[in-house]
Structure formats: structure tokens, C-alpha cells
Amino acid sequence: MKSGAREKIWNAAAELFAEKGYAATATREICQRAGVTKPVLYYHFESKERLFSDMLLGAWRECRQELEKAARPGKTARAKLVDVLAADFELTKRDPRLATMLFRMVFAPQHETPNVDYVAIGLEWAGLMTGIVGEGVRRGEMRGSAEDAGVAILALDMIYTLSYLLTDQPKLDRKLARRIVDLLVKGCGANHKDR
């Protein structure tokens, strides 16, 4: 995947961006931690903004591939949702720095963020979840609004992920993924009237 100086820069930047955020991390600090000079960093990444963008967008591409693989045809919508959440949890546990970087940027003042379209990433993620729930509604596995349920599952995923990053709890695993999906599926399938 990565080799030599590029990997050292990537790892140093991931640590610093996760610890301090984008705006508070100086290029000099990344170079010092990576044991490289600024020209080496700029050779590989052009700029600090490009480094950050490449890291986040690369992580999103990998995440999207894993999530799409988990959502493959031939399973119930419930099974797909559990697989997608479990895959997302595994990616977070594999490198929590990337999830931390994303949350830091989402909550940072706009003038302190590089030009990454977080809204587009969020809408794509929500679209995947909504699509799976919509499939479940069409098959009669679930009832209710596919959009509302898909967004609710994504929101619970984000809440549990943020809790994990801050407190190392709860355990991000398949069991939690099933609990989240069951909560929404049972709620979506319940026969109750709006009040």
C-alpha cells in the first residue's frame, strides 16, 4: 500500500490530525514526527491540505467499498444492515485516527477546515442505508419511511462510534450492530398509529 517516506508522513499526520485537529497541526510538526523534510512531504502530498484530503477521501473510498461489499445482493435487508454496520465498526477499530479526524473536521469552524465535501460523503453514506431499508420495505421486511429509518441507523452508528472514540465504550462489534438494526426494524415493523 504505502511505502517509505510516504507511509511515515501518512502515519505522523494521522496521529497529529487526530490529536490536535487540522488547523492546529503545523506542516513542520508532521515532518518532525515523520523524520522527513518539508520538500519530501511536498513531493508526496503537495500541501498539508492535500495530505489531509487524500487521507480522508482515501479512507472514505475504502469504507464505501467495504460497505458496498457488505450490502451485496442475496441477503435480507436486516442482514445487510447488520453487515454494513459491523463493517463500519471494524474500519473504525482498525484505524480510529481516521474517524477521529472526520469528527474533528465536522465540528471545527469552517475557516479551519480543508476543502472536503463532508456533506456529500454523509449523503452518500445515508443513501446506502436508505437504499437497503427501502429494499426491506419493498420486500415487506420492514415498514415505515426508508429515509427516516436509514438516517436513524446512521445517526445511531455515529453516536456509538463517537462514544467509542471518546471512552473506548461500547464495544463496536456485530452484536451492537444487530442491536441497532433490531431496534429500528422492530420499530419500523410495529403496528402503531402516528399521534
- Give mean pLDDT, residues 183-191: 67
Q: What is the pLDDT of residue 72?
A: 85
- Quick check: 17 and 112 in contact, CB under 8 A? no
Please give the domain boundaries of the chain with CATH numbers for all domains: 55-189 (1.10.357.10)
Q: Identity (one letter) of the amino acid at 58?
A: G
Q: What is the pLDDT of residue 8?
A: 96
- Give mean pLDDT, residues 64-89: 90
How many angstroms separate the Cα of 96 from the Cα of each of 71, 111, 133?
Answer: 23, 25, 27
Q: What is the pLDDT of residue 2?
A: 52
Q: Identity (one letter) of the amino acid at 9?
A: I
Q: What is the pLDDT of residue 192?
A: 46
pTM of the model: 0.84
Cα dihedral 98/103/104/109 (nearest 10)? 140
The whole-angstrom separation of Cα 28 and Cα 44 is 15
pLDDT greater than 80 at residue 70: yes
